Amino acid sequence: MMPVFRNLAKTAKEALLINGCSCQIPAMSVRLMSWSPRQVNADASFHSVSFAESDHPRVLITGGLGQLGVGLANLLRKRFGKNNIILSDIRKPPDHVFHSGPFIYSDILDYKNLREIVVNNRITWLIHYSALLSAVGEANVPLARNVNITGLHNVLDIAAEHNLRLFVPSTIGAFGSTSPRNPTPDLCIQRPRTIYGVSKVHAELMGEYYHHKYGMDFRCLRYPGIISADTLPGGGTTATMEKRSAKKYTAKLKLQVVAEAEHSNNVKAAKLFGVGESCVRNWRKQKEKLMESPSNKCANRGSKCHWPQLEDNVSKWVSENRENGYIITRSKIRLYALREARNMGIREFTASPGWCTRFMKRHDFVLRRKTKIAQRLPKELEEKVTSFQTFVIKHHKANSYQLSCIG
């Protein structure tokens, strides 16, 4: 986290240095009336006197309760003063955040409210962190489009009207699968496949446009995947805990990938078959084993057995007990395995639930459970019984079968 804050602090420092002078911040006069893309009422009153800007900026951080806002606010408050950094969000802050410095409610979709906050607090810098991240955005695209794009437009218009210095973070999600890799240049093709990535490409281009069109001091920094030390995950690709099913690849496909990698290189093979480059490297090392495996088998999947003799003993115990009619549960398997490991002198073995699951998969064991629910009778039961009785009577008369022979 700290490198991110240092980069942002460096960007802030550069914004303060005017005409190459780093000693003091010169006095700046406020525009009598800045042009705004939105219509301004004719009777609106503006201060006509110039005033010297204070030694420190007045900073508003939108989306302040996200992964970056609290940590950045703490860093900037140490440098610019506690009361000069205002956190804002639409959620209720925790007690330690509320008492650490100024906090106000701010909805970036409410243009009038946001403009009022900027005017009343004499904001000079605006750090725009409000956004729906990748995983949450994909689950609700209309809301993500509204927050990430409409909210950005509100912030841009207010920053242009009030001559604010604006920082909007971007993301490596602004690149897509067609972007060049290793290294990826700053300027290249960008075709993201998430609404979050699309909105960040839009933010980069809009900020650049406002800079050239209206002279706005716009700054942007593409963040990598971030996990905050101050805030719980907020739905980004890096932080999301969404469970994804693992893809299965047959030995035949893996050998095709290996052949392509040997003909060209690992990167091109990975891109052509849509697999990870690390998979290509591993499959090349496993080439001999893959050639010996059945072509349609998902070969070399799952973890290897660390204690084969122990598992063989446990497997025999499970089979013998089942043959004798005993009920074997996971708990019994783990207890027996732990006792057997101690007898064999294996001290690092813990018989964890995960080990039990992998053990059962490796030895094709499934849990059998008694049930009191009987099998449902077919709907046409009476019809089938009548048909069977008719069939029996017919053949009994035709062949003179003894009733005792009919079972």
Q: Is the dihedral of CA 154, 157, 160, 161 positive or negative?
A: negative
Give the separation between CA 281 and CA 279, rounded to whole angstroms: 5
Give the separation between CA 134 and CA 238, rounded to whole angstroms: 9
CATH 3.40.50.10470 fits 2-39+48-223, yes or no: no
Tell me, yes or no, if 196 is annotated catalytic: yes
Per-residue pLDDT of the chain (407 residues; tens, 9 = 90+): 555 555 655 655 555 444 444 434 333 333 333 344 444 444 444 343 333 445 789 999 999 888 888 889 999 999 999 999 999 999 899 898 999 999 999 999 999 999 999 999 999 999 999 998 877 888 888 888 999 999 999 999 999 999 999 999 998 888 887 888 878 888 888 888 889 889 999 999 999 999 999 999 999 988 887 776 666 665 555 554 444 455 778 888 888 889 988 888 888 888 788 888 888 888 888 888 888 777 776 655 555 678 889 999 999 999 998 888 888 888 899 999 999 998 888 888 888 888 888 888 888 888 766 666 666 777 777 888 888 888 888 877 888 777 666 66
Give the separation between CA 39 and CA 115, rounded to whole angstroms: 13
Secondary-structure class of domain 308-362 per CATH:
mainly alpha
Vertex 9, ends 3 and 10: CA angle to 5°? 90
Q: Are strands 125-128 and 222-223 parallel, antiparallel or unpaired?
A: unpaired
| Catalytic, out of 129, 196, 223, 249 | 196
What's the pTM?
0.48
Q: Give the residue from 7, 20, 18 showing the smallest Cα distance to 57.
A: 18
